[in-house]
Every structure is written in structure tokens, then in C-alpha cells.
Amino acid sequence: MNSLYRKFSGATLVILMTSLVVGFVLANILYFTVAKEKIDARNVETAQGIVDMLFYDHYEQVLAAIANLGYQMIVVDEDGYRETYGEAFTNDNLSQSAVDYVLGGGIYHGMENFTSSMLMMGHFSNSAENTVGVPFTMNGEQYALFLRPDNQSLFSDMHAILVGFIIAVAAVSLIGVFIMTRKVLRPIDQLTEATKAVANENYQFELDIRRNDEIGQLADSFRTMQAHLQHNNEATKAFINNVSHDFQSPLMNIQGYAQLLQNGITEQERLEYSEIIDRESKRLSNLTKQLLLLTSLDQPSYPLEKEAVRIDEQLREMVNKYRWRIVENELELSYKLADVTAHVDRELMMNVWDNILSNAMKYTPAGGFIELTCEQQGEMLVFCCQDSGVGLSESEAEQVFERFYRVDEARKKDGTGLGLAIAKEVIELHGGSITVESVLGEGSTFIVKLPI
Amino acid sequence: MRILVVDDDPHILQLVSIHLKKEGYKVEQASDGVKALQLLEDYDVDLAIVDVMMPNMNGFELTKILTNDLNIPVILLTAKGQLADKEKGFLAGSEDYIVKPFEPKELTFRVAVVLRRAGRSMESKVVAGNVKLDRQNFDVTINEHTLVFPLKEFELLSILMTRAGKVTQRSLLFEQTWGANYLGNELTLNTHINRVRERLKKYGATVEIQTIRGIGYKLEVSE
């Protein structure tokens, strides 16, 4: 956490420094290429304006007055006599050659040619060399006027202001960055806490971040993930509970009755016990198969092997398979199947029909009827399985498609409680729906709708 | 009735044999197609149960020989999803097949069905009024509703339908349905006939089974 603070503050400082340096360099380039020459020319103009006003009798007063307006001047006569007006030059190093050149009628461009170790700041150098010089005649004598604006005072004031400005900018930026960093880091700290909580399987951890930016989105995603994980966790626990119960009870039965078989028993008992062992091992075998199917269906990319399947033929095949059971259980089964072809996974759909029909046979007492119909309604296949069985209460009908849900709490009937859950999963994978309409004690109707 | 079971898995061979013997059939076992054909030189069998996946000669080849050359009906045992459509078509004729794993009861039921079917050379489809019988599948279709009939009831209806309009004696019905040696009482027949009547009525059949007192029954097509 500290390191992020340091990084942000450091970055701000670096940015500030860099912008100062870059700004200075750019300003210098501008100054040396354009501004310096212009300033020189303007000052030459000013100097020429001044010398035009000078007359021998009052030139000193005029120059003193102009000096008061903020100029520094040196007047040199032919004899080399120098008079300074205004603020004294710190560096009075005006060369003789420059004086001679001006006295000879030339114009001295000291400002344009002046170089300083301080680059652009040389503009402010209070040096006699850093002037412009113009010649003038007064009373028939040649004079030279060297002039520069007195920006010494201006400069030192500006200097202080500029430094203050830079410091203020830096300080405010740093404080701003510090506050920003805190604002950014606080939710990150909270997220770290929350992540640790989730890692420790504490899914109740309340993440108190409500904002509209990217971090808010991250927090929202995190909460969604948390909810999913919690749900998955609960589902997994319930699942394991159910599975271990559903594995344990048949195993216990098998063990128990197998032990009984080892002792002296009557023929009738032997038949009874071995029947129980048979039934329970079948249930276990079914359970494993269905669990395997269900788990593979849960994979997000279960490969459906869709092909054109005659659904009515599949249903006839199913009826044929269970004909013995229908006859043995004295059920009355009738069906009315239209020729319907659908694009489905053959094996999976077979499993669906099997589960639905097995259920109907299981919960319909002797003498009852089962009726299967399938027809095409527009782009949908509609399959109904109506029975006159025990039926479902409203709450049972709601839960009947849930995994491991069994109406028969005592689990007297063989079954895994997974059949209809698988049917629902398969049908939904195909983009269809399965529903049940039922009246307790009168029977149930399962309705499957599948896109063709 | 003698049944030949052909499977290379000795456990399945034994399991199938035990269940068949319990139903009163005589059973011959063979572990592959070649041995099965050798066995057939010594025995006549009424039905063969053949596994599809076998070494030396696969189930389809053996089935062809058994049905075409020897005229023995065959029930094939196949694993789930093993049958291609073409092979299913091949089975669609007189053959039947069972997908493994199967319930022993499913097997014995199919065996009974195939033996019945093979024992009689009747027309496979019979129509009277709006009732259709398919002896191939043991389906009864009334008013476009197909019903699964218990075997005995199907048998009774089948006899009465082929003799529609004629009186059929009780003794003939008994003999054809339960076998000549059956010593059941008269009530059994009554009960079954009544169940058939109920079903016909429930689905709106235009045929009616009349009782001819002291003789038997007659199926009439009502207008």
C-alpha cells in the first residue's frame, strides 16, 4: 500500500519537473529564434525615438525623466566620456569597439547578440553589454546612446512570484494525488480484504463499495462472483450430502442383507433378501450413471450431437422396451404419435423419454392408464405424458425437477431423484421446456415442448 | 421350446440361460457363431438370442444365416448406440433386438412375443371396423390411438377379429391362447374377454364382442 502512495507522489513530481524542463527548453527556443531579435528591434526603435527628442539644452532632464519610466541608459560622447542614467549597471563592461562603432554611425545590437550562461534569463541580465546602441548628433557633436529597459526590479519580483507559483502547483498537485490515491486505494484495500474472506470460504463478507467508475464495476462483479460462489458452495454441500446419503443407504442394505444370506434362512427369505440386494445394486448403478450424465451436462460446453431424429419412432422404441412392465403392472398404455422429426441429440432425448415414461409407470398403480401423445405445433414438438397415477401436490410439482428431490420421502420406490432433473437439463439444452400439471390423487401430465 | 444363446461373455451367457430356463425353455449355449452353427447340426431350435459383438463371426452375419438359411427367428443383443440406422433397417423385418443392459423380464417377454409370432403364419395385419391389429408389434390401434395390449388379451382379440362375424368356440380360444394343455377355469376367459370389451368401448371401437351363450363369442362390426 505504501508503495502505491510513493509511486503516485513520485510520478507527480517527475511529471512536474519534466513539464518545467520541457517548458523552459521550449521557451528558450522561442526566445532565441524569434523573441530576442524582436526585442532588440523594438528597443532600437525606442532608442531612436528618444534621441530624436534630445536637444543640447535639456537632454539631461529628458534622459533622467525617461530613466524614471524604467530605462537604463549610457550616453557616450566623442571623447569617451560616459554618463549613466537610471539604475546603475551591475556589469559596466561596454566594450570600446561597440562605442566606437556607434559613434561611427552604426547601430549596436547588443541585446540580439548578448549571450548568457543563463540562456533566456540573460534577457534580464543587468549588463551594459546587454543594450542597444544608437548614434545621435547634438550641437554638431557625435554621441552614442546605449539603452535597455530596466527590468531588474520587475525581474526579481516576477522571480519570487514564479517560484511561488511553481511551488504552489507542486504542493497542490501532490496533495491532490495523495487524496486521489487514498480514494483509489481504499476500495482496493477493501477488495483485498474481501478476497481473503472468500479464500477462507466466508461468502458473507459485505463489500461496501458503491460507485459508478471502473472500481465500482469491479466491486459489482466481485459481489456477483461472491453470490455465485456462495450458491455453488451451498449447492455442492447439499449435493454431497444427498449423494452420500443416496449411496450409503443402498450400500447398507446390500451389506445387511448379504450378511443375512450367509446364515441359515428359509427359501422364501433368501428370495426376498436377494431381491432387495438386486434392487439396491440396480439403484446404485443407475445413480452413478445419472450422476455422470448430469455432471457432464453441467459442463458449459456439452457437445450436443444433434441429428434429425424421428421422435415418434423413439417413443415407439421406448414403449417396446417397457411393454413387459406395462403388461406386468397391468397398466393401460395408449399412444397417438404424429410423424415428427426433430434435430436433437438422440441418446439424450432417449434418456428424457425413458425418465418420463419410467416415472409414469412407477407412480401409476395397477389398472391405471398412461397416454402418450406427440404432435407438431408450428415450429414446436409437443409431447404429453398423461397418467392416472398418484399425482403431485402443488409444492411437490414445484420441486419435482430439482436434483435429488423425491416425492416418496421414504424412498420405497427405486429411483434416484435425478431423472427429471436430467430431463429438464437436456430439454433446456435443446432450447425447449418441460412442465408438469398435476392433481394430487388423480394423476400428472408432463408436457415437453421442443423446437424442431 | 428350445432356445440357442450365443454370446462370448460367459456371464451373460449364463445369466440369460438361467432366466430362460426358469421360464421353462430348454437352452443351448454357444460362445461364438461358428460353435453355434456346429450346435445346430445336432439340435433344432425355435429361437436364437445372439450378441452383436463377437469374435470370428459377428452377430449380423450369424443372424443372416439363421434367418435366411435355417428359418430361425433371432433376437439380437446390442450395446447402447451400437446400431447404425442401416442395421436397424435390417432388423426391422422379422427380427427383434434388445439394448443392453436389459431387465431379465424384458428379455423373457420379448422371447415369448417372438415365439408366438413365429408359431403362427397368420396375416400380420388385421382390420375390423376402426380397429387395426399389428401382430408384428402386438399393437392395437383404435381411432388412431395405439394401445399396448397384454399378450393374452391381444391373442383373444386377434382370433376373434380374424373370425369376425363368425362364432368362435370357447375351446378354440382356450387352446390358441393358453395352449392345449391348459386346465384353467371358465372364469379366466370371461375376465379377459371383459377386459378386451372395456378397452374397445373406452376408445370408441366400432366392433363389439357378443357372447353366444353356451358356445363362445362373436365379434361384430357395428355400423
Report in angstroms the alpha-carbon separations of A148 from A106, A130, A143, A425: 17, 7, 17, 93
pLDDT in tens, A330-352: 888 999 999 999 999 888 898 89
Mean pLDDT of the region A162-168: 87
Name every chain A residue with its beta carbon within 8 A of the beta carbon of B76. none
Reported ipTM: 0.72
pLDDT in tens, A248-265: 777 888 888 888 888 778
Tell me what the pLDDT averaged over chain A comes to. Answer: 84
pLDDT (0 to 100) of residue A357? 93
Rounded CA gap, A432 and A381, in Å?
9
pTM score of the predicted model = 0.59
β-pair partners for B4: B28, B48
For residue A2, name the pLDDT band (cuts at 50, 70, 90). Answer: low
| Min distance B137 CA to chain A CA atoms (Å) | 8
Mean pLDDT of the region A99-104: 85
Whether residues B203 and A334 touch (CB distance < 8 A) is answered with yes
A338 C-beta neighbours (distance < 10 Å), count: 13
Contact in structure between A102 and A108 (CB atoms under 8 Å): yes
Rounded CA gap, B40 and A232, in Å?
61
Whether residues A327 and B150 touch (CB distance < 8 A) is answered with yes
pLDDT (0 to 100) of residue A409? 60
Residues above pLDDT 70, as percent of chain B: 88
B interface test, pick of A293, A324, A331 with most B CB neighbours within 10 Å = A324
pLDDT in tens, A107-147: 888 877 777 666 666 777 778 888 888 898 887 888 888 88
From the number of C-beta atoms within 10 Å of its C-beta (0-12, 13-18, 19+), residue A315 rates as: buried
Name every chain B residue with its beta carbon within 8 A of the beta carbon of A325. 103, 105-106
pLDDT (0 to 100) of residue A444? 92
pLDDT in tens, B190-199: 888 998 998 8
Res. A161: pLDDT tops 60: yes
H-helix or E-strand spanning residue A74: strand A71-77
Q: The C-alpha cell of B144 is what?
A: 388412431
Rounded CA gap, A131 and A111, in Å?
5
pLDDT (0 to 100) of residue A31? 80
Rounded CA gap, A40 and A37, in Å?
5
| Min distance A327 CA to chain B CA atoms (Å) | 5
Mean pLDDT of the region A361-370: 89
SS3 A307: strand
Locate the chain A residue with the closest alpha carbon to B99: A321
Locate the chain A residue with the closest alpha carbon to B198: A332
Whether residues B145 and A336 touch (CB distance < 8 A) is answered with yes
Q: The C-alpha cell of A287 is what?
A: 445413480
Of B72, B74, B78, B157, residue with least CA distance to B110: B74
Mean pLDDT of the region A44-72: 83
| Sign of the C-alpha dihedral computed for residues B43, B46, B51 and B54 taken in this order | positive
For residue A353, name the pLDDT band (cuts at 50, 70, 90). Answer: very high
By Cβ distance, the residue of A320, A321, A336 closest to B144 is A336
Residues above pLDDT 70, as percent of chain A: 95
CA angle B190, B25, B116 (to 5 degrees): 50
pLDDT in tens, B121-162: 556 788 888 898 887 777 889 888 888 888 888 888 988 988
pLDDT (0 to 100) of residue A448? 94
Starting at the edge strand found earlier in the chain, the sheet holding A108-109 runs: A82-85, A71-77, A141-149, A132-138, A108-109
Per-position b or e across A134-151, b if 16+ CB within 10 A of its CB: bbbeeeeeebbbbbbbbb
Which residues have C-beta within 8 Å of that of residue A278, sequence separation ≥ 6?
none
For residue A400, name the pLDDT band (cuts at 50, 70, 90). Answer: confident
Which residues have C-beta within 8 Å of that of residue B221, sequence separation ≥ 6?
B128, B129, B164, B165, B206, B207
Strand extents, DSSP E, A230-330: 306-310
By Cβ distance, the residue of A319, A324, A334 closest to B109 is A324
Contact in structure between B5 and B23 (CB atoms under 8 Å): no
From the number of C-beta atoms within 10 Å of its C-beta (0-12, 13-18, 19+), residue B179 rates as: exposed
| Sign of the C-alpha dihedral computed for residues B64, B70, B71 and B72 taken in this order | negative
User: What does the DSSP 8-state code read for residue A122?
Assistant: G
Whether residues A323 and B109 touch (CB distance < 8 A) is answered with yes
B interface test, pick of A286, A332, A375, A384 with most B CB neighbours within 10 Å = A332
CB of B123 within 8 Å of a chain A CB? The answer is: no
pLDDT (0 to 100) of residue A446? 94
pLDDT (0 to 100) of residue A413? 62
Which residues have C-beta within 8 Å of that of residue B36, sequence separation ≥ 6?
B4, B6, B30, B48, B50, B62
Rounded CA gap, B220 and B223, in Å?
9
H-helix or E-strand spanning residue B6: strand B2-6
pLDDT (0 to 100) of residue B85? 52
CB of B138 within 8 Å of a chain A CB? The answer is: yes
Strand extents, DSSP E, A338-413: 341-345, 369-377, 380-387
β-pair partners for A145: A75, A134
pLDDT (0 to 100) of residue B119? 65
pLDDT (0 to 100) of residue B6? 92
| Peptide linkage before A365 cis (omega within 30 of 0) | no
CA angle A222, A225, A230 (to 5 degrees): 125
Contact pairs from chain A to chain B, CB under 8 Å: 45
Mean pLDDT of the region A5-27: 86
Rounded CA gap, A130 and A133, in Å?
10
